[in-house]
Chain A
């Protein structure tokens, strides 16, 4: 058996130009970026920066031009993403629309939905959030209870979502709801896409343990949306959502989200010979993860489904990113001052607190390993 079939990532001819373009944009904007934001980059929303990327043609890169996209190669997009993440650029505002909601609309959406949402998304100016988890449906997503009742004029939605990243800045939500009354588990679920300013939608912030506001509760009280809010097929929501999750799991954000910390370690402590072996070890793991992520991107670009590989990349990437701050904390000189305001001290302080979330968001470690085990023929 082969645990991981390699798909060669053939670097596009435009790679050098794209890297230069992103590095130029970064050098023009980075004066405003705080070190701690750079160690958390795809969670940091900066609408002005997203709009700038939109103007530069770096959002919705692989979408058709008639929807505002740029019809670039998926591997070109991969290069842009990894450059932005390695630089710690604040890409959070448009991230979900670019990664998930846009591609989902291209796959399942109606012509009207595409025309309404995609151009704004590709411009880096329209943002989306994804309503999946609920108080009673976390890892066991099939426990979704939010209902959408069909009427002559549309749907009436009632219920609640939770842990909804970016709901406070999003213009639209793609919610998984129960459209078939009395249906159970995976059956009878559908995806509805509607504007966040629809009457009856209420967002309440949830502040995380580090004092940051990333995710939210979203309440729906008799929210009326038209019939054409339905994305894809009625009752097919479960399948559509699981396909979408593979897009979420294998990208460079799974091993580069806190890359800034390694950069600051090299810059501030690299001359300490006692720390160099750890730098070597972390570089080795980073390089390996990048090989795996690029192979998965290449498989995806060939139109194949890399769900198993994506789970592997996410599990390994999460473990790596959680281990980095702990390993650095363990080797720093005993005199190192965690309160001296240095970039290293501040990013380390933050990541030691936020790292537990890495193996929760986008599918917990236990769920991912369950997926991997099923792929191995266990269960």
Chain B
């Protein structure tokens, strides 16, 4: 991670943990995250947007920071909205993974921590793998936005995120048992949001029909050509 990105993440973590109104974030400059330095902005890239929104998802931040950052940015608002949900979900999935790990390491049944049971270990490994997929997909989509056209990547990333949310939230709840189903316990603010994001800015049907038709248009050899052509834009 670049030094600028690290500083940005530190600032975002502090602010998003404590801020109760969006103006504090506006004052801190998040509204101009993607505006060039020459124009008085932060001069960030889409990787920075991913990093900040990921932290918002991780912290369970409830205000519309995605809108604050992205509303002034020209482009397809559905794609941008989907990107925001992917980024938030990447953080939220990592958070429920962390909560699940802490819980099974602490909670004892049959005379030992739940974490000692292979069935529990294997189940949390699946949650970790799903969270990893969303984090990778979000970072990949951010790179594509930096190159201008992210139509393919955002379709893929949002679909993969929707899949991970379905699998991941179920595992987190299963690991927590009944306590995770209470209003008091802080798991549901993350899992309920995640399940809501799954439907917003394109559910599976929307993106799979769209991407499927686009892939078929490319032809049998075209899919691989397209995937490699697009990622080769990242020439160092």
Partner pick for A278 among B136, B208, B223, B234, CB 8 A cutoff: B208
Asked whether B232 is an interface residue with its Cβ less than 8 Å from the other chain, the reply is yes
Establish whether residues A284 and B211, one from each chain, have CB atoms under 8 Å apart when the complex forms: yes
Complex interface: chain A residues within 8 A of B124 (CB)? 373, 376, 378
Residues on A with beta carbons closer than 8 Å to the beta carbon of B223? 262-263, 266, 283
For residue B213, which residues in chain A have a CB less than 8 angstroms away from its CB?
276, 280
| Contact residues in B for A285 (Cβ distance below 8 Å) | 156, 160, 163
Tell me if A316 is interfacial: C-beta within 8 Å of chain B.
yes
B40 at the interface (CB under 8 A from A): no
Q: Does B125 lie at the interface of the complex (its beta carbon under 8 Å from any beta carbon of A)? A: yes
- A277-B212, A379-B121 are contacts. A8–B220 as well, Cβ < 8 Å? no
Q: Which of A297-317 contact B (CB under 8 A)?
A: 309, 312, 315-316
In the complex, chain B residues 52-69 whose Cβ is within 8 Å of any chain A Cβ: none
Question: A13-B235, A15-B235 are known contacts. Are A376 and B212 too (CB-CB below 8 A)?
Answer: no
Contact (Cβ within 8 A) A291 B140: yes
Complex contact A11–B116 (CB within 8 A): no
Interface check A59, CB cutoff 8 A: no
Q: Is the interface of B mostly helix, strand, loop or mixed?
A: helix
Chain B residues, CB < 8 A from A6? 135-136, 139
Total cross-chain contacts (CB, 8 A): 188
Instruction: Pick the residue among B136, B160, B221 that contacts A4 (CB under 8 A).
Output: B136
The tally of residues in B whose CB lies under 8 Å from a CB in A reads 60
- Which residues of B205-236 are within 8 A (CB) of A? 205, 207-216, 219-221, 223-224, 227-228, 231-236
**What chain B residues lie within 8 Å of A283 (beta carbons)?**
156, 211-212, 215, 223
A330 within 8 A of B: no
User: Nearest CB to that of B126 among chain A residues?
Assistant: A369
B115 beta carbon closer than 8 Å to chain A: yes
Interface residue SS majority, chain A: helix
**Interface membership of B79, Cβ < 8 A:** no
Complex alpha-carbon distance, A46 and B57, angstroms: 50
Taking Cβ atoms with an 8 Å cutoff, the residues of A that contact B are 1-4, 6, 8-13, 15-16, 19, 82-83, 86, 259, 262-264, 266-267, 270-271, 275-281, 283-292, 294-295, 309, 312, 315-316, 366, 368-370, 372-373, 375-379
Instruction: Report which B residues bind A (CB closer than 8 A).
Output: 93-94, 97-98, 101, 104-105, 115-116, 118, 120-122, 124-126, 128-129, 131-133, 135-137, 139-140, 143, 152-153, 155-157, 159-160, 163, 204-205, 207-216, 219-221, 223-224, 227-228, 231-236
